[in-house]
Every structure is written in C-alpha cells, then in structure tokens.
C-alpha cells in the first residue's frame, strides 16, 4: 500500500474540467455530440468518407480554442500546484485535446486522445505543431506530400496514445483521481478498475454529477470543477488521501 501522504497519484481528466473555461463538453445537453454525428466526424471511416467535412469540424474547434477568452481555470491551476508540491509522482492523463493543462502549468501530462494543436501526415507519419486550418490541399512540411494531413487526434476505433505508460502508472499508484468525465469512453472509463485491481488504489471522483462509473469510486464529491478541485487539492496537500 502506498503512503497516503506521499504515494504516487494518477489523475484522469475529461471535458468537464475545461467547461468553465468556455469549451463545450460532449455529452451534456449542450454538448458537441448532440450537434454532430460521432460516426461522421470522429472516426477514420467518417474521415475517409468526407475528409472536407471532418477538416471543417476540427478547423472550427481549433479556431475556437485559439480565442483570447479560452484560458485555464482554477481547476487546471490546482492540478499544476499539486504536481509541483506533492512529494510523490503525479501523472496527469487527459482525454481532452485542448492545451489548458499545459497552459495551467502541468508538465507530467499525457494526451491519450491526442492534441488539437498538432497535425499528422498519413504519408510520412511526421507530427507537427499546428494552429492553422487543415484541408486536403495542405502539404506536409516534412515530406511535402499534399492531401495526407489529419488532426493528431484519436478517433473512435483508433488506439489511444501511451497506453503502456498509463497502465504502468495505474499499477503503481496509491490514488486514482477522476475529474470531469462521464465515464462513457473506453479504455479511459476502465482506468478506475485497473487502479483498484492492480494497485489497490484509493479512488476519488470529482465531477458535476455522478458518472457512469460513480459506484466504483471509494470517495466522490460533486460540483463545478473550479470549486471542488482546488478544495480537494488543498485537503490532499494538508492531510493526504
């Protein structure tokens, strides 16, 4: 069992942590997946069928993330403070493709579903930092080939990134903290069971409302992330879990 005041922590975040920064979630009433059909815009099949439509979908979201009004909130800042002040290892695994955790100061971070500000060439597989629109006319800066660029984002049916590193961290954590995710999407939604069975970790859910996996957590707190995450980080730093 890990020491509750210094053991390793794995944090999983979802769209809920960025909601108060002005970024839509996916499954709330005003969520993204209620406005577009997942199969059309977030699968490799959808991209193959209509790449221009998928580029438009991501170009609009990428432009939105570049707005001056989109900034990290108190929950992002609290997780960066935890990483800086906690005596043990803190690994932050996010399902989000925005860059608010980095902007909020987190460093030990995995974007398991990719990043909106990166683009990948399907011809040479080079990954580039990217803030402009993408289209079928976009040339790859590395191999010069046109038409092969796509968002460096994990679509449904594709393998999330860094899974080995994530499962290794889950098997050695004393605390698994899930924040702002509905627990609908796998393999992320299965991390809580992995932490319980492979590390006998203490598990905590911080969310606006109970997620699909709420009953699996030993401890829960519900409310807006900007309120409950800083409060929980203060408690963790003062007395452990």
Side-chain-side CA neighbours of residue 229 (13 Å): 26
Instruction: Enumerate residues 70-99 that contact ligand BV8 by CB under 6 A.
Output: 95-97
Q: Does 185 bind ligand BV8 (CB under 6 A)?
A: yes
Binding mask 40-69 for ligand BV8 (x = CB under 6 A): --x---------------------------
**Binding footprint of ligand BV8, residue count (CB under 6 A):** 37
Contacts of 186-195 spanning 24+ positions with Cβ under 8 A: 187/160, 187/163, 188/12, 188/14, 188/93, 188/95, 188/112, 188/160, 189/213, 191/10, 191/12, 191/93, 191/166, 192/216, 192/217, 194/167, 194/170, 195/10, 195/170
Q: Which is nearer to ligand BV8, 6 or 37 (CB)?
A: 37
**Paired tokens of 79:** 């997780």
Classify residue 238 by its DSSP letter. Answer: H
Question: What whole-number distance in Å separates Cα of residue 169 and Cα of residue 60?
Answer: 35
Which residue minimizes CB distance to ligand BV8?
16
Instruction: Tell me how far, at minimum, the Cβ of 144 lies from ligand BV8, in Å.
Output: 27
Q: Does 160 bind ligand BV8 (CB under 6 A)?
A: yes
Q: Are 94 and 18 in contact (CB under 8 A)?
A: no
Q: Which is nearer to ligand BV8, 151 or 174 (CB)?
A: 151
Q: Are 202 and 9 in contact (CB under 8 A)?
A: no
Question: What whole-number distance in Å separates Cα of residue 57 and Cα of residue 51?
Answer: 10
Question: What whole-number distance in Å separates Cα of residue 158 and Cα of residue 168?
Answer: 20
Q: Which is nearer to ligand BV8, 129 or 209 (CB)?
A: 209
Instruction: Tell me how far, at minimum, the Cβ of 165 lies from ligand BV8, in Å.
Output: 13
Instruction: Tell me how far, at minimum, the Cβ of 15 lies from ligand BV8, in Å.
Output: 4
Classify residue 185 by its DSSP letter. Answer: S
Question: What whole-number distance in Å separates Cα of residue 141 and Cα of residue 111?
Answer: 23
Q: Which is nearer to ligand BV8, 88 or 224 (CB)?
A: 224
Binding mask 96-135 for ligand BV8 (x = CB under 6 A): xx---------------x----------------------
Instruction: Tell me how far, at minimum, the Cβ of 232 lies from ligand BV8, in Å.
Output: 12
Q: How many residues does the chain have?
A: 241
Instruction: Tell me how far, at minimum, the Cβ of 148 lies from ligand BV8, in Å.
Output: 19
Stretch that binds ligand BV8, among 3-11, 118-126, 139-147, 177-185 (CB under 6 A): 177-185
Binding site for ligand BV8 (CB under 6 A): 14-16, 19-20, 25-28, 31, 42, 95-97, 113, 153-160, 163, 180-182, 184-187, 207-209, 211, 224-225
């Amino acid at each position: 069992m890990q020491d509750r005041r210094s053991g390793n922590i794995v944090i999983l975040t979802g769209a809920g942590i960025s909601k108060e920064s002005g970024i839509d979630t996916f499954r709330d009433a005003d969520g993204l997946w209620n406005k577009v059909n997942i199969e059309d815009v977030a699968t490799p099949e959808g991209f193959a069928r209509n790449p221009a439509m998928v580029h438009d979908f991501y170009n609009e979201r990428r432009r939105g993330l570049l707005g001056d009004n989109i900034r990290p909130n108190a929950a992002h800042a609290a997780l960066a403070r935890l990483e800086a002040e906690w005596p043990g290892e803190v690994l932050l695994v996010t399902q989000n493709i925005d860059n608010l955790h980095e902007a909020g100061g987190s460093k030990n971070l995995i974007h398991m579903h990719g990043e909106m500000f990166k683009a990948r060439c399907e011809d040479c597989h080079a990954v580039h930092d990217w803030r402009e629109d993408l289209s079928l006319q976009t040339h790859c800066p590395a191999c010069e080939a046109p038409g092969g660029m796509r968002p460096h984002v994990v679509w449904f049916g594709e393998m999330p990134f860094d899974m080995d590193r994530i499962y290794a961290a889950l098997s050695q954590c004393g605390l698994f903290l899930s924040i702002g995710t509905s627990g609908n999407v796998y393999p992320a939604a299965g991390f809580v069971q992995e932490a319980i069975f492979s590390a006998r970790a203490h598990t905590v859910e911080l969310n606006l409302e109970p997620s699909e996996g709420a009953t699996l957590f030993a401890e829960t707190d519900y409310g807006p992330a900007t309120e409950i995450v800083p409060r929980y980080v203060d408690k963790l730093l003062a007395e452990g879990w």
